Structure 1
């Protein structure tokens, strides 16, 4: 446990800024590389197939969010529990959490694959797919479903690498996987002329590579924790602890899927299938904008979880404040970029359809109007998740993406049509930011008293 002793000493003694930077750089690189999965697929398909193919992928996106939500349910829940147990120096319990997370991930992945394949057509219709883009969506989704188990186990174990104190290993894993996808996409789409199917096969191969890589890590000398066969046996208490903590990010991803479904149906109703394609571009840009904030969350979770478990509340508060300042700075930068260069951003994804270009340019600018207040909302939700307050974390996650946004999505378009769809997001950002600030104040007061 020499490596574990070193990691614990760093958590207890290293300066928070330096510690966050150590965890942030691999997390940021990993998130950036991971985001390339969907974004690279959309760029190559938007340029190499046609606009309807891009719309088809946009309809698959909410279903992929649902699949990813279940991966996050297990991965983030296990991540927090591993960090807290390591803070308490209970390494056996941490390894038991790791094993249970793998088993739970396998079971959920198999069930999702079976359900998704059986109901693939009605699911795509529910999530706003039009008949013109349906063949593209079905082809892509059918292939992606069968890579589900590799993607989920890879994601779960990659998060566990960070929780055990090996953020660089997690970064290298995603580099290898997303790099494989980026190289194979143009080969299959253009070289072999496989179109959408080629993009899906490239993704399957890259996710299989990730899964094998991280499984091998937990059997190697590099890992702090080990993956033991005996720990694969499910324990009801551990599963409960994983799910209660993982429910917040799970609900956030499910909410994102529900919102995307509502968005797609409203976009088709008021703007047609090309508006759904424009939304796909906006989603890709949104992923890039928030990835730095997500990386801050990923860097802070093991630090906050460990120090909260060790009752080092001053270090918890310092971590929280630094993360809020950084996230707010990043949010302002993203806002400035999308307001000043919306057309240049949209051209990256599509250059041959003027109507799609104009829809994407206008939509992107409106969607990010209040992006400056998004950063600290994400951080405060992650903070409550990291300290084991699953209920509050779930509420804050649902607030912006469901509780406020969905009613507005149904209300505004009745009066303002497509503009109403675009404006729903910034209004939700502003209202959710005001409510989240109340929870931030409460969190700081409690940390000051501790």
Structure 2
């Protein structure tokens, strides 16, 4: 039986509806992990460190997709909940066209300045050249990556979350197969190019398939068509999605700070170790992000329809689900920490020990992480972009940046790993405070 946004949601129905989004985000993370596995094991430690050094910059450019996707989904779902389907589709079309144009312009700027940026991050010699080579190939696929992450949210609003998973599956398999063929098959000096081509091709597939789907007549509630420029709509959508924009920007800035600190305390080995943790943590974080993406349009719909009882029900159940996920993830991460580290860097004993000791500390953050992601996504769904952005800004840029600069002075390199745990705990407390403060305002 088809689940609709207007339904009453039990725990089972909420999990069933959000499962495709969770699976979509997990699979996206898995193919990124596979990317890292091939590069680390077949291209070597320096190319692997180069990717981890330049990737935060590439992610900053791609964040416009998250901003237009999450913010736009909240606005479109709210408009649909108010009963105006025609206007919802016009808003949807405007947001897609605008985001793609912005993505093209950002890709061109990045292509021109990638060498200067890599140099500013501390890359020199072979590390610098690897950053430039990988970055420029990935930037070719950036406009399609913007579409891909944006449509991940809109598929849920269109009541077709399974379609988002199918597109992600196709994109992921494309990346993994091409990684295996190009990274292993190419000569050593161009293995990094093969990895970049694999990722860019996957991004092309992930962006183009849903674009074609929504341009044609389809069975969803959304379709791309004629629209007109409305500055107020773009401002509303981007302000709604400001938290996700801030989250991704801040995460990338924090990653740059992490790499800077690690270069100081442990050199290229530290950057490589952090890269392993980021790849592995993507899978765990994806569960929280996927659940938030899946639940947000439902919350937006019932908020727009003024169904306060169902709104309370959704928020309460979401908190319980996220808390349960967090406990399970900490246990799983601690049990499999050694095996996960060995998969990536088992060829280097010193790097393996550094990665394992750091990951055991880092993994504790999964117990708190989901609450910060959920509360930020919740306020986006309620079309309160300012509160959502404030939570994201404090959680990532302020808490993590402050902790990663301060704690290493006390605990050395271990302080870098502890900084993630501390910042996520503070984000949990912050999210709880905002939920209490805004309870009467939104009637949940």
Say whether residues 1:412 and 2:407 are aligned partners: yes
Q: What stretches of structure 2 of length at least 5 have no aligned partner?
A: none
Say whether residues 1:125 and 2:119 are aligned partners: yes
1:235 and 1:13, CA in 2 relative to 1: closer, same or farther beyond 3 A?
same
Aligned alpha-carbon RMSD (Å): 1.9
What's 2:177 paired with? 183
Whether contact under 8 Å (1:27, 1:295) holds in the other structure is: yes
Whether contact under 8 Å (1:26, 1:168) holds in the other structure is: yes
Counterparts of 2:76 and 2:13, CA distance in 1: 18
What's 2:267 paired with? 272
What's 1:38 paired with? 32
Counterparts of 1:125 and 1:409, CA distance in 2: 22
Counterparts of 2:151 and 2:372, CA distance in 1: 27
Counterparts of 1:355 and 1:336, CA distance in 2: 25
1:44-443 matches, cutoff 5 A: 44-193=38-187, 194-218=190-214, 219-228=216-225, 230-231=226-227, 233-443=228-438
Q: Secondary structure at the match of 2:344?
A: coil
- TM-fit CA distance, 1:417: 2.7
- TM-fit CA distance, 1:284: 0.9
Counterparts of 1:432 and 1:130, CA distance in 2: 36
Counterparts of 1:105 and 1:127, CA distance in 2: 28
- TM-fit CA distance, 1:307: 0.2
Q: Secondary structure at the match of 1:154?
A: helix
Cα-to-partner distance string for 1:104-145 (whole Å, 9 max, x where unaligned): 112211221121111111212334535442222221111000
- TM-fit CA distance, 1:283: 0.5
Identify the range of structure 1 (253-262 vs 27-36) with the bigger mean alpha-carbon deviation.
Answer: 27-36
1:223 and 1:13, CA in 2 relative to 1: closer, same or farther beyond 3 A?
closer
Q: Secondary structure at the match of 1:13?
A: coil
Cα-to-partner distance string for 1:77-99 (whole Å, 9 max, x where unaligned): 11111111111121111111111
Identify the range of structure 1 (216-225 vs 376-385) with the bigger mean alpha-carbon deviation.
Answer: 216-225
Counterparts of 2:411 and 2:16, CA distance in 1: 47
Q: What stretches of structure 1 of length at least 5 have no aligned partner?
A: 1-5
1:87 and 1:109, CA in 2 relative to 1: closer, same or farther beyond 3 A?
same
Counterparts of 1:147 and 1:415, CA distance in 2: 42
Whether contact under 8 Å (1:113, 1:146) holds in the other structure is: yes
What's 1:3 paired with? none
Counterparts of 2:230 and 2:224, CA distance in 1: 15
TM-score (structure 2 length as normaliser):
0.94
Cα-to-partner distance string for 1:235-291 (whole Å, 9 max, x where unaligned): 111111111101110000000011011111111011101100111000111111111
- TM-fit CA distance, 1:18: 4.3
Cα-to-partner distance string for 1:47-105 (whole Å, 9 max, x where unaligned): 11111111111112211220231111111111111111111121111111111112211
Counterparts of 1:287 and 1:279, CA distance in 2: 12
Identify the range of structure 1 (427-436 vs 284-293) with the bigger mean alpha-carbon deviation.
Answer: 427-436
Cα-to-partner distance string for 1:15-64 (whole Å, 9 max, x where unaligned): 34344233212111211121134211101111111111111111122112
Counterparts of 1:341 and 1:31, CA distance in 2: 21
Whether contact under 8 Å (1:304, 1:316) holds in the other structure is: yes
- TM-fit CA distance, 1:319: 1.0
Counterparts of 1:412 and 1:18, CA distance in 2: 42
Aligned length: 441
